[in-house]
Structure 1
């Protein structure tokens, strides 16, 4: 018997949320009906938007008010309000196949409690496997399952609850690839990522924020996470120096070609904001790393 808990982060996408909740409940029912040995811990919705009432559902979902600071803080809000042995933190625009919980449980019952189990996403173009960041921090490199993966797919990943005493999502990131930094935290603290291609879910949504604002958030988070990666996790002074020297001119040229003058301003703003945020948090990060100096990247 294994206790699984599920959290959903949401913001003003009620119909998407209900579809996600319904698919999870159907998957829970399927697992229980087929003798999966499942114990449900908690089902939590962290709401970063306007007030919602979750109706016409079969299980009890605890709806908590989100911090309204973005995706990183909202994920941490789930962590702070949920228990269980393994936790899935997913997004409101996901839809899960009926056998998702059963397949997850069968695998989790066979692994150690330092294993993070991840799957893949499916959209209108097909399946999307987890990726790792390249030098610039873009998630372009498919994970190599023959090696220890450095990436996972956020909405279809089961975390052992004990990892959250050492690993947290970054509250300063409003929108972006939270898994990029979190995967390095996990590996630094001795956790292993296991990829299970049979584990998948449908990603329906497209972010409705303006394209420019969305791009600004994405570039900021990518630069910020890459600075943290070279400084804190890979400890590469050379890569950190090269990235800081080359990234602004590279990004400026790339965005100017796409957006004109607006691209220049966006590149400058994202680069400066990411570096300021990195410097603010660098000393506290160094203290945290000293506390876990007995660990090293796997």
Structure 2
């Protein structure tokens, strides 16, 4: 295989220098050369910056915007000069042959299909707690848990194991309102509508080592992100107005029922917080239109 692809590894991080070190060390074992490594740092202290400057002088270090993961991903993209991008989480490690496998698959697929190479996203699975996790299709409520059938058009990726053509970011960027959760499904569903294709390469595997750091910070955002992103998909991407508003009612009821069952009356407080956050996202998204 030729080495005509130049890949940028973008790692968005927040207060996880120990995890980040494992991620960066794994890049050195790659059987395919890495064009550049970019770390966008949303940390609330200087530990990560000190780590990069003392141990990884070749890494491009960027202070993050500290607005959440969507904004941090876009911030990393500002420094990209390669032909392709992999967003590797700070608590993941790169498989030694991952990039070699992805680019061999990409070359073969384009040769056989005749598709535009700059329109193809390649995703593999990730190994998480000993289990391979593949991209899942969204159900009506926005949960990504439906397996794709053979030959079915994909609209989702495993973000730790997805390689994007850099050209895609001229048309689609990450939603900067999203602090955490569902930013990748929001991005990919919009990218597919722009004519990009997602192809699965099952042999390309990266490893996720879930960190507990930041979980309390991110926890309030995930449910709100799912509701907002799914509503936006129905309303704006698919332009199905009635479906979008019907979804919002059902999703609100579902969240309320789930929270009540899980936490009793305390769940009502959680639901109110979630729906307020959804409302703020929607207000920011549609008040300007």
Could you state the TM-score of these two structures normalised by the residue count of structure 2? Answer: 0.89
Which segments of 5 or more consecutive residues in structure 1 lack a partner in the other structure? 32-37, 287-298
| Counterpart-to-counterpart distance in 2, 1:104 and 1:60 | 24
Shift of residue 77 of structure 1? 0.7
Is 1:204–2:209 an aligned residue pair?
yes
Out of 73, 76, 79, which is 1:78 matched to?
Answer: 76
Gaps of 5+ in 2: 111-116
The alignment's C-alpha RMSD in Å is: 1.8
SS in 2 for 1:87: strand
CA distance in 1, matches of 2:21, 2:219: 28
1:136 aligns to what SS in structure 2? coil
Q: Distance in 1 between matches of 2:150 and 2:21?
A: 34
Asked whether the equivalents of residues 143 and 150 of structure 1 are also in contact (C-alpha less than 8 Å), the reply is no
**Superposed CA offset, 1:62-88 (max 9, x none):** 111011111111111111121211111
**Structure 1 counterpart of 2:102:** 104
C-alpha contact 1:120 1:130 (8 A) present in aligned 2 = yes
TM-score, normalised to structure 1, is 0.86
Cα distance in 2, alignment partners of residues 90 and 66 from structure 1: 16
Contact 1:132–1:180 (CA under 8 A) maintained in structure 2: no
Residue of 148, 153, 156 corresponding to 1:148: 153
Deviation at 1:210, TM superposition (A): 5.3
2:49 is the counterpart of 1:45:
no
Q: How does 1:221-236 map to 2 (within 5 A)?
A: 221-236=225-240
- Residue in 1 that maps onto 2:22: 19
Q: Distance in 2 between matches of 1:23 and 1:97?
A: 8
Q: 1:210 to 1:262 in 2, by over 3 A?
A: farther
Partner of 1:129: 134
Counterpart in the other structure of 2:177: 172
Distance between the aligned counterparts of 2:268 and 2:211, measured in 1?
A: 25
Give, in whole Å, the separation in 1 of the partners of 2:215 and 2:27: 30
CA distance in 2, matches of 1:262, 1:214: 19
Across the two proteins, how many residue pairs are aligned to each other?
274
Aligned-partner Cα distance in 1 for 2:85–2:222: 26
Contact map agreement 2:15 2:213 (CA 8 A) in 1: no
State the 1:108 CA deviation: 3.0
2:113 maps to what in 1? none
Of 2, 5, 29, which residue of structure 1 is paired with 2:8? 5
Residue of 263, 280, 285 corresponding to 1:276? 280
